[in-house]
Structure 1
Amino acid sequence: MHSPSSWLRGYIPDLPTPFDSIHEIDLTSFRQLCERQIAAGATALVVGELTGEDSTLSPAEHSALVRTAVQAASGRAAVIAGAGSNSTSQAIELTKQAEADGADAVLSVVPYYNKPTQSGICAHFYAIADSTALPIVLHDVPSRTVRDLSDDSITQLAESPQFIGLRDATGDITRPLRLRSLLRPEFRLLSGDDTTAPAFLVHGGDGCVSMTSNVAPDLCQQMYRSCRQGERQVARNLAVQLGLLTAALSREPTPAPLKYVLSLLGLMSPRVRLPLVELPNDAKSDIAAAVESLFKECGFYPVVGPTPSLQPSASTL
């Protein structure tokens, strides 16, 4: 792959993990998800991370997902493997395996549950970096880890060229404004929160690691391009549409609503692994109605086929 600065941008899907009728990984459906995103213009794919239910995957399953994504991408998009853990030694093992499986980078989350100090968080990431030649994208999601990654820690870690970017799921749209002048130009700032991603982009962000783009990859890529090209009214219209879709997908814990919507598009099963459960019938009805209404209102309609997508009508933009 080319320099990370060339592909760590735009809307990057955080891919869900499809499961079959006996709750084994459905690699055929997963490969189809990869192909769909690449066809829509995604420059990278996140595999086996938060939306991919990484905490329920065995090491062998995680490895199979990464290998499948690498084979599907065939150099057309980078593969970023989720490789985080609250155990530094386990994060190192996941990272080493991702490197062996052909990943182009890893996404490594702030250690959760242990509540480490900022010095402990930095030491954790440095130990991972020492174990691999792969580039590392940092993941700050304090709503799940209870510990945030401070601005000072980010600027300290970013001094090493091995740390190539940040997935910021804090929802703080001012962070790019605060950090940009403190970081080397090629370090990428990515939103990890679909709700605030459009504002994050406007304030200087480089993209979004997105759940919503799994449903509407074309719409998300248009959002990114309109922000980059200064098409403010187009960006506003797209932000409203994406906001409504994100709201529908956020009515129940991730990724159950997402998997259900993708099942309606014929892309995968809605199955999740315990301790997550599938949506109750009333939630399914509400989410299906909300998404269908959005399709009609925005002039989008689902196209089901080898690479299903949401296609815009001429009047949408």
Structure 2
Amino acid sequence: MAQPHIQLDGLLAFPLTPFTRELGLDLEAFAETVERHVAAGAGALFIACGTGEFSALTADEQAALLRRAREVVAGRVPVWVGAGGGAATARAGIAAAQEGNADGVLLLPPYLVSGPPSGLVDHVRHAVNDSTVPVVVYHRSNGAFTPRSAVKLLDIPSVVGLKDGVGDVELMTRIVTSIRSSESPRAEDFLFFNGLPTAEVSARAYKAIGVARYSSAVHCFAPEIAMRFHGALAAGDDKVVDALLSGFYLPLVALRDETPGFAVSLVKTGARLRGDRVGGVRPPLVEPTAEQTGRLEKIVKGGYALLAALDGAVDGEFDGAAAAGRDGTGR
């Protein structure tokens, strides 16, 4: 089987999954969410993945989200969907993605159990089975690969890439180099992604090792900031990158790290502050406190103040700390 040609350019968006007050699936609000991402310039959508609360969804809900996303997108950008869990669940998820005409699948780590590197490759092979839908494997948690086992993924034709959620740049350098220098005819076109939470903070380091693609949760609630950062990084505009990191992203990460699960629930809160209908989060995730929500609002306002200041900068000179406030929140 020949490797499918995959076009995943631009900023990769991971839409939230909106819920009703009773935490049921809200497909109409989801349609609005999908349209906002496309209109804001997302290069591809990855639905029902980490930011979309994959672990909290049923298989029927995932299928419904995929159908609705494809209806709304209507071919304008690729639509990928999450799959994962135990061996049988992951296999069924990939099969359902192919049946639902997804453009690709992000395969999340196995559920609970761990195995040796060879077993992890076998897990991917079992999950893929005889499907032909392109698959990107999520390298994280109990699904972390060694360089040698990562090279073995090249033997599975529909596996087209690896997304890093471990955050070890040295390990990822060895994985990228091992795959690129292998004798496989697929090595040159194999895709790599930075999938760390708030990936912008590590994006420059990952770009330096050949991993330029990344997913942006910020695109869910501050797409203008996310797109401006992505463009500046691609252009090598360090002044803008540094300004947005210091004035927006680093304060955001400091708040995100206060509570487990805020990589999702804080993003949903940001979307609600923007006026989006996304509802709450399903447990075990928890909502930010009123005080944390207030700080998030100040951080976002500071981020947009930075954009306004960048638009008015003269000859590339810009003092991000002065524009955003010395604490980076606009205060």
Structure 1 length normalisation: TM-score? 0.85
Which of 221, 228, 238 lines up with 1:232 in the alignment?
238
1:53 offset after TM fit, Å? Answer: 1.3
- C-alpha distance in 2 between matches for 1:210 and 1:162: 25
Query: Secondary structure at the residue paired with 2:11?
Result: strand
Counterpart of 2:95?
Answer: 96
Matched residues, percent identical? Answer: 25
Contact map agreement 2:81 2:106 (CA 8 A) in 1 = yes
Which of 252, 270, 274 lines up with 1:261 in the alignment?
270
Which structure would you say has the larger Rg? 2
Query: Secondary structure at the residue paired with 1:138?
Result: strand
Query: Secondary structure at the residue paired with 1:6?
Result: coil
How big is each residue's C-alpha offset from its partner over 1:66-93, in whole Å with a ceiling of 9 and x where there is no partner? 11111122111111110011x1111111
- C-alpha distance in 1 between matches for 2:188 and 2:229: 23
Q: Which amino acid aligns with 1:41?
A: G
Q: Which amino acid aligns with 2:160?
A: I
Query: Secondary structure at the residue paired with 1:23?
Result: coil
Counterpart of 1:185?
Answer: 188
- C-alpha distance in 2 between matches for 1:206 and 1:294: 23
- Mean CA deviation greater in 269-278 or 252-261: 269-278
Counterpart of 1:51?
Answer: 51
Counterpart of 1:140?
Answer: 139
Equivalent runs, 1:23-62 vs 2, <5 Å: 23-62=23-62
Cα 1:229–1:287 shift into 2, 3 Å: closer
Query: Secondary structure at the residue paired with 2:138?
Result: strand
Cα 1:227–1:179 shift into 2, 3 Å: farther
- C-alpha distance in 1 between matches for 2:299 and 2:231: 26
Equivalent runs, 1:3-14 vs 2, <5 Å: 4-7=5-8, 9-14=9-14
Query: Secondary structure at the residue paired with 2:25?
Result: coil
Contact map agreement 2:16 2:278 (CA 8 A) in 1 = no
- C-alpha distance in 1 between matches for 2:241 and 2:113: 40
Q: Which amino acid aligns with 1:94?
A: G
- Mean CA deviation greater in 272-281 or 105-114: 272-281
Is 1:156 the equivalent of 2:162? no
Q: Which amino acid aligns with 1:215?
A: F
Cα 1:274–1:28 shift into 2, 3 Å: same
Question: How large is the Cα RMSD of the aligned pairs?
Answer: 2.4
Structure 2 length normalisation: TM-score? 0.82
How big is each residue's C-alpha offset from its partner over 1:248-277, in whole Å with a ceiling of 9 and x where there is no partner? 444432311111110010112441112223
- Structure 2 residue runs of 5 or longer lacking an equivalent are 181-186, 319-331
Which of 243, 249, 252 lines up with 1:242 in the alignment?
249
1:227 offset after TM fit, Å? Answer: 3.2
Cα 1:314–1:77 shift into 2, 3 Å: farther
1:151 offset after TM fit, Å? Answer: 1.7
Contact map agreement 2:105 2:136 (CA 8 A) in 1 = yes
Counterpart of 2:215?
Answer: 209
- Mean CA deviation greater in 95-104 or 272-281: 272-281
How big is each residue's C-alpha offset from its partner over 1:100-158, in whole Å with a ceiling of 9 and x where there is no partner? 1121111112214111111111001011222311011010122xx3x522221111102
Q: How many equivalent pairs are there? A: 299
- C-alpha distance in 2 between matches for 1:100 and 1:21: 31
- Mean CA deviation greater in 158-167 or 16-25: 158-167
Counterpart of 1:79?
Answer: 79
Contact map agreement 1:166 1:188 (CA 8 A) in 2 = yes
- Mean CA deviation greater in 130-139 or 35-44: 35-44
Which of 167, 172, 190 lines up with 2:168 in the alignment?
172
Cα 1:140–1:180 shift into 2, 3 Å: closer
